[in-house]
Amino acid sequence: MTDDKDVLRDVWFGRIPTCFTLYQDEITEREAEPYYLLLPRVSYLTLVTDKVKKHFQKVMRQEDISEIWFEYEGTPLKWHYPIGLLFDLLASSSALPWNITVHFKSFPEKDLLHCPSKDAIEAHFMSCVKEADALKHKSQVINEMQKKDHKQLWMGLQNDRFDQFWAINRKLMEYPAEENGFRYIPFRIYQTTTERPFIQKLFRPVAADGQPHTLGDLLKEVCPSAIAPEDGERRNQVMIHGIEPMLETPLQWLSEHLSYPDNFLHISIIPKQTE
Amino acid sequence: MPTSVLWAVDLFGRVYTLSTAGQYWELCKDAQLEFKRVSAAMQCCWGIACDNQVYLYMCANDVPIRRREEAYENQRWNPMGGFCEKLLPSDRWQWSDVSGLQHRLLDGVALPSPHWEWESDWYVDENFGGEPTEKGGWTYAIDFPATYTRDKKWNSCVRRRKWIRYRRYKSRDTWAKIPSKDDPKELPDPFNDLSVGGWEITEEPVGRLSVWAVSLQGKVWYREDVSHSNPEGSWWSLVDTPGEVVQISCGPHDLLWATLWEGQALVREGINRNNPKGSFWSIVEPPGSENGIMHISVGVGVVWAVTKDRKVWFRRGVNSHNPCGTSWIEMVGEMVMVNVGLNDQVWGISCEDRAVYFRQGVTPSELSGKTWKAIVATRECDRSHSGSSSSLLSAGCFFGDEVRASSDSASHDTDVSSEVERRDPEQPLPKESLDNPQNPNESSALDPGASRTAECDVENACPVVGRGEPTQAPGPSGRPAELPWTNIDLKEPKKAPNHSAAGLPESTGLASLGLFTLGLEEPYGADDHLLWAWVSGGGCAVEAGSVLKWFTVQSGLSPSVQTLSLSITPAQTAAWRKQIFQQLTERTKRELENFRHYEQAVEQSVWVKTGALQWWCDWKPHKWVDVRVALEQFTGHDGARDSILFIYYVVHEEKKYLHVFLNEVTVLVPVLNEAKHSFALYTPERTRQRWPVRLAAATEQDMNDWLALLSLSCCESRRVQGRPSPQAIWSITCKGDIFVSEPSPDLEAHEHLLPCDQMFWRQMGGHLRVVEANSRGVVWGIGYDHTAWVYTGGYGGGCFQGLASSTSNIYTQSDVKSVYIYENQRWNPVTGYTSRGLPTDRYMWSDATGLQECTKAGTKPPSLQWTWVSDWYVDFSITGGTDQEGWQYASDFPASYHGYKTMKDFVRRRCWARKCKLVTSGPWLEVAPIALGDVSIIPESPEAEGHTHSIALWAVSDKGDVLCRLGVSELNPAGSSWLHVGTDQPFASVSIGACYQVWAVARDGSAFYRGSVSPSQPAGDCWYHIPPPPKQRLSQVSVGQTSVYALDENGNLWFRGGITPSYPQGSSWDHVSNNVRRVSVGPLDQVWVIANKVQGSHGLSRGTVCHRTGVQPREPKGQGWDYGIGGGWDHISVRANATKAVRSVSQEQEAHGPVCC
């Protein structure tokens, strides 16, 4: 029998094969070869692309280099979204590897945040973790942790050390035995079809009658358009980590096992491809 | 957590139970009678039925209650006919009791009540003090009464033999009427109240209970002689009281309170082990003069009361020394009655809605608890009603509650049920909210019809309480007979609105209670919501802080927890879960399969965890020194991890370090004591030196983090993970920690065998005293408190959380053990025994050796994991016996002690015990309800064909009954039920060999062989008595493939010689070794022991795992010992390891061939 622990491992070790190509208008001294990399789904673009940056900087003049940013099929990629989410939301239907275009010029100020250093990623990551714990435990768990524990979470993510990360993160996934789950489930629902960046609301893991809430219950409540069949057939895929969990899946279980390292469930609603 | 039940009686006299693990009230199995009172203990429930007779409900149990009857046949020798029946006129009866004074004919011995039956006919007892007489059971003496011997001598003039016959209590799981055959003039008048308790006063005899009853005339009666083997007791004896008593409550220990008609409480003083009836009464005044006490209930250290105005009161300052307490405190809530159960937990029945409330937050430090919480559990029979669509299809539903007698409420109900049918079957149905009195708004919001019904029900009941009081209580003269407490009894229903118009006459006397219930049952019989009259928690063990499912209404989907299967939980088989696993696998394949040659974005690196610990330094003087430690983990090219632990210390201002490769570590042992959170780390070298690396952390959390991390690293470097294999070797330390080792094939090789100090042990969560395994993956354990546990297939638990633990199959486990200290006194001519000793004497309060001072106040639980759960009490069960106050006498310290004072005794001591409890978690589930002393599972070779039959498992209960477990298999390792195997005396140890040879050791130290045990006859047919080695008393036996080893009380290990297939009992005991504490013989006839003391062992390191070397088919006794892990090991089981070295397989099978079955 497979253990739930294996889900955590599978989620953590999810990789997206990616082909980085330099934007055609960038000025280079010689032709830039594409760069191939396995990106960890749970990490952030600017955290794992040092090699990419180095690779393309070699062929460029020093004075042309400014802040790096990425784009896929015309959409600038937000570094502060986990990589897996970006892929699921924008590219899950396309063929692998994922073709990402690398830019060094004309930073799209209105679409992207600047990422001056790793500290910015760390700050963003930790604020997400704290927000999630505020929802789950009124911040009690994260506040009881020491500074070094916070650091261990971040270092675990940065160095891709599953054990190091989960040694601390498991404490964030616990809840009192007398309750049936967290206080609220930290989740964000993303849709490409709307202007709104994402939906986030307060939602409890267990209904008033004691029944566990499912993924379907959540969507029905906060994003009915995602599942309500207009003409009988479902038009959308509900995707987390590249898989489509059944709508009957209990939300608490999902939160414990399929959350990203920032402790949020990032759920993508993608229009179904008509074949 | 063991499950137990709460007993309650509804207004109609129907008795229900509610399990601590369940969520439904279940109607008592024997529902013939209506009851007005029940009072429960763990194994039984006493009650008063509407016929005012006392009934006893003994819960069914696989172990029968049997009692031995004995009679002696006496003969005298005369020159004419030899030994014959003709006795001298001055002699005893020819058939007599043991003293010879009482005439006792075999035919004259009658069963005490219709609830007993004979087990067999009379037979002669051949066993004389552990030795078979082989002479028809005759024992000889010079004259009556005298010392009898086994052998006939020239001067043996008389002889006698013992005849025995067993009777068995047969009325279980049914209400058995207590026969009233007492003397008619002393016969009590009909009973009115009854209370059971007192099981903690003394452990002798087993299962002793105090049963107190109150008759309608207000007299108090005590049932004499109630115990496990005499569940009905013998007779009622009258206890004088200063007034007319109406109600009585007996706590588990020495508290006994009663209420008087006048409203005061009576407190019984002087109850103790030697005088369970107590000696005199004290009177406690009620909280206020205008409202007397109506109802009282007591626990171990608490008293709760309800006054006539329905207010609830808690008595402050109650304990054994001051049973009267100090003052009353008013509590929130208005109750009809309250009941204190086990652990001083409290239940009450509310005046308002007649629901049972549970007092939440009752802990040893806060005995008054926090809030009342309503139990909203529904009846079992309502389940189909409120269940899912699928359960609606079950046949029982058609005979359910929908069809009603015509009455007002029926129309509401049909509304409800039609409403129900229209709802989405997956929605929880509104019906259930009826049972939740706290949410009236919610239920009305859901369904107006339902709320009307609810109101109607409340009206039916409440006016009785509400109206009855004002008219009666302030009655002109306040005549006691009309006080309102009678309406907690069964007469209430007759006042229900439907019938109240009939104007039934006011109750004319208490004797009329319950007369009307039968006629009224119809309209209410199918009521939605139970109205309660009485509740008893005396058999209900709710631990402080445990989670109960009584307070939320569950949908019908979830099955009762008791039927939980061990390895598969619903969540694991759910479709959604399968799909997630499947999709993740597919995702990995899709996204990674063709791209493995891509570079990884993040390179693996070395990870270092550092910290500050203390280290027990290797050189003298040994002491704890502060050290910095660092664990460096790195990943090799093959993905394997390796780690080194560095310990940096400073000696003479010079910085130094020592390092340990974690792949060389053989075991990590937590060493918890009162002061330190420390652990020991062994390598093969340090095992040989008997000197581990000992490290201590500042906090428990810190230690657990390090232990978990180091343990994970060790397991990773050894590539050991997940659940232990079925062949694993299990062992237990003296602290109750459980370790498991994967046997390598060369562990039992004939040549080049693996030294056993190189075995790698990893810890499993849980706390046990005994563990036994078999190669089909069935593992059982026994706790210090004798609770039986079965292994669930998980791993981790305890201090291993998170990654080192499986997510499922980990459960809470608790264990209880006693700490003993000794009070020592010396006699002097002036003052007698005092606690003033000689200057050379031991401490006046000490441990057993006298070397350590141990005072009551200064003695702490064994480690910070343990908490006290009792106060200090005198232990009377100590070997050697005690006097009435628990003293043992001797001529001087240290010496052998005896339980009576002689002229030569100048010192005395007595043993004080205090129970402490540990709560942990691990892959173990309780096998209720029988407590065990020993267990053995049949060893099997993996290559043995035909795993069709169930796995043979034998056990000895803590009372000494021999048991055989039925239905044990890989899928159901807990088995289904016990089969009791009769014995003539209590047993201590049992072991079953690979060919169904069952050997056992009785408490008298002799061995027994059980004949004809086979898969088709799992309990065999009869015992063969095997005398122990000369002058030794055996204590344990272990049987492998063919070898039989036994251990005696002096640590000698014996091999049974001369065993052949035709003579499986063997012929002689051959001495193998001394210095042995425990033996385990495996399916390869391999012999492993726990040795008492080995070379180089230190004070605390008694108990070393040792492996017998040179064991060969032709030399089953072996040649020598190989020493393994040690330092506080207590138990080992190698009975699952049938892993043979590859090349010797055929040879071995040949050797064993002929004996195999």
- In order of their start, the domains of chain B are 5-61+172-379 (2.130.10.30), 66-169 (no CATH), 606-721 (2.30.29.30), 818-919 (no CATH), 923-1133 (2.120.10.30)
Nearest CA in chain B to A169: B802
State which amino acid sits at residue B681: L
Chain A neighbours among B 413-442 (CB < 8 Å)? 428
Chain A CB contacts of B583 below 8 Å: 243-245
Closest among B829, B1036, B865 to B936, alpha carbons compared: B1036
Distance from CA of B373 to the nearest CA of A (A): 14
Mean pLDDT score, B602-615: 79
Strand arrangement, sheet containing B280-284: B245-250, B256-260, B265-269, B280-284
Distance from CA of A168 to the nearest CA of B (A): 9
**Cβ of residue B796 closer than 8 Å to a chain A Cβ:** no
Residue B499: is its pLDDT beyond 80?
no
Which pLDDT belongs to residue B917? 92
Chain A CB contacts of B595 below 8 Å: 15, 17, 36, 38, 96-97
Chain B CB contacts of A4 below 8 Å: 807-808
CB contact under 8 A, B584 and A7: yes
Beta-carbon neighbour count of residue B274 at 10 Å?
Answer: 11
The DSSP result for B90-111, as a single string, is TS--SEE-TTS-SB--GGG---
Q: How, if at all, do strands B24-27 and B378-379 pair?
A: parallel
Which of A143-157, B19-33, B868-882: highest mean pLDDT?
Answer: A143-157
Residue B460: is its pLDDT beyond 50?
no
pLDDT digits (tens, 9 = 90+) for B125-184: 887 777 777 778 888 888 877 788 888 888 888 888 889 999 999 988 899 998 876 555
Which pLDDT belongs to residue B397? 33
Nearest CA in chain B to A87: B591
Nearest CA in chain B to A164: B607
Which pLDDT belongs to residue B557? 37
CB contact under 8 A, A249 and B580: yes
State which amino acid sits at residue B950: S
Nearest CA in chain B to A44: B601
* Residue B1011: φ, ψ to 5°: -85, 150
Both structure tokens of B594: 């063709």
User: Which one of A246, A248, A258, A267 would you mutate to disrupt binding with B, by most B Cβ within 10 Å of its Cβ?
Assistant: A246
Decide if B226 contacts B250 (C-beta within 8 A).
no
Both structure tokens of B323: 């049973």
User: How many angstroms separate the CA atoms of B483 and B461, rounded?
Assistant: 19
C-alpha dihedral (B302, B303, B306, B311), degrees to nearest 10:
-50
Distance from CA of A40 to the nearest CA of B (A): 7
Mean pLDDT score, B720-733: 89
Partners of B1048 in the beta sheet? B1034
Mean pLDDT score, B351-379: 87
Distance from CA of B443 to the nearest CA of A (A): 12
Which pLDDT belongs to residue B468? 38
Dihedral of alpha carbons B1072, B1074, B1075, B1077, sign? positive
**Cβ of residue A148 closer than 8 Å to a chain B Cβ:** no
Which pLDDT belongs to residue B894? 73
Chain B neighbours among A 239-258 (CB < 8 Å)? 241-246, 248-250, 253, 257-258
Which pLDDT belongs to residue B428? 43
Which pLDDT belongs to residue B422? 41
**Cβ of residue A216 closer than 8 Å to a chain B Cβ:** no
Both structure tokens of B619: 């050189």
Rg (chain A; Cα; Å): 20
Which pLDDT belongs to residue B913? 92
CB contact under 8 A, A37 and B547: no
pLDDT digits (tens, 9 = 90+) for A69-118: 999 998 999 999 999 999 999 988 888 899 999 998 888 988 888 888 88
CB contact under 8 A, A37 and B601: yes
Which pLDDT belongs to residue B459? 40
Q: Which of B46-50, B456-460, B1029-1033 has the lowest mean pLDDT?
A: B456-460
Decide if B333 contacts B375 (C-beta within 8 A).
no
Q: Which of B95-104, B191-200, B453-462 has the lowest mean pLDDT?
A: B453-462
**Cβ of residue A95 closer than 8 Å to a chain B Cβ:** no
Nearest CA in chain B to A160: B602
User: Which one of A4, A39, A162, A217 would you mutate to disrupt binding with B, by most B Cβ within 10 Å of its Cβ?
Assistant: A4
Which pLDDT belongs to residue B806? 72
Kindly state the DSSP code that residue B755 receives in the 8-state scheme: P
Chain B CB contacts of A97 below 8 Å: 595, 598
Residue B223: is its pLDDT beyond 80?
yes
Number of Cβ pairs < 8 A linking chain A and chain B: 129
Minimum-distance CB partner of B583 among A170, A177, A244: A244
pLDDT digits (tens, 9 = 90+) for B1051-1064: 999 999 999 888 99
CB contact under 8 A, A246 and B575: yes
Chain B CB contacts of A3 below 8 Å: 722, 806-808
State which amino acid sits at residue B968: V
Residue with tokens 């004797």: B511
User: In angstroms, how far is CA A103 from the centroid of its own chain?
Assistant: 22
The DSSP result for B297-353, as a single string, is EE-SS-EEEEETT-EEEEEET--SS-TT-SEEEEEEEEEEEEEE-GGG-EEEEETTT
Residue B249 three-state SS: strand
Nearest CA in chain B to A250: B576
Average pLDDT, chain B: 79
Minimum-distance CB partner of A48 among B554, B584, B601: B601
Closest among B212, B219, B209, B211 to B188, alpha carbons compared: B219
Closest among B215, B232, B221 to B277, alpha carbons compared: B221
Both structure tokens of B812: 């809470």
Per-residue confidence band for B504, with pLDDT thresholds at 50, 70 and 90:
very low
Chain A CB contacts of B802 below 8 Å: 166-167, 170
Domains and CATH numbers, chain A: 15-103 (3.10.20.620), 117-174 (1.10.246.190), 179-270 (3.10.20.90)
Which pLDDT belongs to residue B883? 86
Beta-carbon neighbour count of residue B568 at 10 Å?
Answer: 14
CA distances (Å), A233 to each of A212, A221, A271, in order? Answer: 26, 19, 12
User: How many angstroms separate the CA atoms of A26 and A60, rounded?
Assistant: 9
Chain B neighbours among A 183-202 (CB < 8 Å)? none
Mean pLDDT score, B225-253: 91
Decide if B176 contacts B56 (C-beta within 8 A).
yes
User: How many angstroms separate the CA atoms of A233 and B942, rounded?
Assistant: 54
Per-residue confidence band for B48, with pLDDT thresholds at 50, 70 and 90:
very high
Which pLDDT belongs to residue B154? 80
Decide if B998 contacts B1013 (C-beta within 8 A).
yes
Residue B448: is its pLDDT beyond 80?
no
The contacts found for B980-987 with CB under 8 angstroms, 24 or more apart, are B980/B62, B980/B63, B980/B64, B981/B1010, B981/B1019, B981/B1020, B982/B66, B982/B119, B982/B166, B983/B1008, B983/B1023, B984/B68, B984/B125, B984/B127, B984/B164, B985/B127, B985/B960, B986/B959, B986/B960, B986/B961, B987/B956, B987/B960, B987/B961, B987/B962
pLDDT digits (tens, 9 = 90+) for A128-166: 999 999 999 999 999 999 888 898 899 889 888 888 898
Chain B neighbours among A 65-94 (CB < 8 Å)? none
Minimum-distance CB partner of A3 among B574, B802, B806: B806
Decide if A102 contacts A20 (C-beta within 8 A).
yes
Mean pLDDT score, B245-265: 93
CB contact under 8 A, A170 and B803: yes
pLDDT digits (tens, 9 = 90+) for B56-105: 999 888 888 888 899 998 888 888 778 887 777 777 888 888 888 888 88
Closest among B372, B518, B527 to B454, alpha carbons compared: B527
Chain A CB contacts of B594 below 8 Å: 17, 96
Residue with tokens 């000889």: B140
Quote the percentage of chain B above a pLDDT of 90: 30
Which pLDDT belongs to residue B441? 44
**Cβ of residue B595 closer than 8 Å to a chain A Cβ:** yes
Residue B784: is its pLDDT beyond 90?
yes
Those residues whose C-beta lies under 8 Å from the C-beta of residue B1014, and which sit 6 or more positions away, are: B996, B1020, B1157
**Cβ of residue A15 closer than 8 Å to a chain B Cβ:** yes
Nearest CA in chain B to A242: B587
Residue B513: is its pLDDT beyond 80?
no
User: How many angstroms separate the CA atoms of B1149 and B1151, rounded?
Assistant: 5
pLDDT digits (tens, 9 = 90+) for B521-530: 333 444 457 8
Which pLDDT belongs to residue B783? 95
Chain B CB contacts of A167 below 8 Å: 705, 708-709, 802-803
Decide if B769 contacts B1103 (C-beta within 8 A).
no
CB contact under 8 A, A167 and B594: no
C-alpha dihedral (B177, B183, B189, B195), degrees to nearest 10:
-50
Those residues whose C-beta lies under 8 Å from the C-beta of residue B1145, and which sit 6 or more positions away, are: none
Decide if B999 contacts B991 (C-beta within 8 A).
yes
Q: Which residue has the higher pLDDT, B326 or B62?
A: B326
CB contact under 8 A, A97 and B592: no
Beta-carbon neighbour count of residue B612 at 10 Å?
Answer: 11
pLDDT digits (tens, 9 = 90+) for B948-987: 678 999 999 988 999 999 999 888 999 999 999 988 889 9
Identify how many contiguous H helices and E strands chain B contains and give both numbers: 12, 72
Distance from CA of A36 to the nearest CA of B (A): 6
Mean pLDDT score, B848-866: 85
Minimum-distance CB partner of A10 among B584, B594, B802: B584
Q: Which of A154-168, B206-220, B480-494 has the lowest mean pLDDT?
A: B480-494
**Cβ of residue A209 closer than 8 Å to a chain B Cβ:** yes
Which of B213-217, B940-944, B1096-1100: highest mean pLDDT?
Answer: B213-217
Minimum-distance CB partner of B801 among A170, A243, A249: A170
Which pLDDT belongs to residue B454? 39
CB contact under 8 A, A37 and B584: no
pLDDT digits (tens, 9 = 90+) for B737-775: 999 999 888 888 777 778 888 899 999 999 999 999 998
Both structure tokens of B808: 């499922």
Which pLDDT belongs to residue B1141? 64
**Cβ of residue A163 closer than 8 Å to a chain B Cβ:** yes
pLDDT digits (tens, 9 = 90+) for B264-311: 999 999 998 888 999 999 999 999 888 899 999 999 889 999 999 999
**Cβ of residue A19 closer than 8 Å to a chain B Cβ:** no
The b/e string for B313-323 (b: 16+ C-beta within 10 A; e otherwise) is bbbeebeeeeb
